[in-house]
Chains A and B, each alone.
Chain A
Amino acid sequence: GAGVSQSPRYKVAKRGQDVALRCDPISGHVSLFWYQQALGQGPEFLTYFQNEAQLDKSGLPSDRFFAERPEGSVSTLKIQRTQQEDSAVYLCASSFAPQKADTIYFGEGSWLTVV
């Protein structure tokens, strides 16, 4: 596609429910990022993939958060046993260059509300 595509755009989950957020990066982009953005804040880094390898997961807030990119293209961010503090926008981004400062293209985000 022309840009980074994320789904669902909006998700309301009951506390304790598992959720899965999908990201389709720009075709051919090696690098894929997940960010979490709380209301009124800037995005916070969660994890980074270079192709299918998850090279950095230092930003994942707990072991309830899990991300994968098994074939080096589409990625899924899974949150198990959701808590209210998980309510945020989850942004996926991709760039062509591997582990090098480059223009990063963001998706529109998946808005998660945990009730």
Chain B
Amino acid sequence: SQQGEEDPQALSIQEGENATMNCSYKTSINNLQWYRQNSGRGLVHLILIRSNEREKHSGRLRVTLDTSKKSSSLLITASRAADTASYFCATDDYKLSFGAGTTVTVRA
């Protein structure tokens, strides 16, 4: 079963715009992670946010976590064509439960 669910399923933006995607989960967590997957490739870890953190930054990425709403968001600022990929949130423990992902297309 997949605990994290991303929204929207797909997102198309112009280069330079910001992209925001959301993740909702069902049970309490210790941490939440975001991964990126380029077409035909494996997943790449982007950022981990712990349950006692509300916001975290890494380069052009900003992740928020609201444990009361059981949701997280990933913001990519000043998007580039290379950001075109699927983005997944994954919850907790050691074996990770992934959602179906948000497919982001950045148009040049």
Contacts and interface: CB of A to CB of B under 8 A. Distances in A.
Interface of A: 4, 31, 33, 40-45, 48, 56, 91, 93, 95, 97-109
A103 B45 contact: yes
A48 B88 contact: no
Contacts of B94: 31, 48, 95, 97-102
Chain A interface, DSSP helix/strand/loop, else mixed: loop
A108 B98 contact: no
A103 B49 CA distance: 11
A26 B100 CA distance: 26
A45 B45 contact: no
B96 A106 contact: no
Contacts of A42: 2, 4, 88, 98-101
Contacts, number: 59
Contacts of A100: 94
Nearest to B88: A42
Give the interface size bracket for B toward A: 20 to 34
Given A42-B2, A101-B30, A101-B93, A106 B42 contact: yes
Contacts of B92: 101
A44 to B, nearest CB: 7
Interface string B60-95: 000000000000000000000000000010001111
B96 A45 contact: yes
Given A42-B100, A101-B30, A107 B95 contact: no
A107 B42 CA distance: 5
B9 to A, nearest CB: 9
Nearest to B92: A101
B98 A43 contact: yes
14 contacts: A33-B96, A42-B2, A42-B98, A42-B100, A43-B88, A44-B2, A48-B94, A91-B43, A95-B94, A100-B94, A101-B31, A101-B33, A104-B45, A108-B42
B97 interface: yes
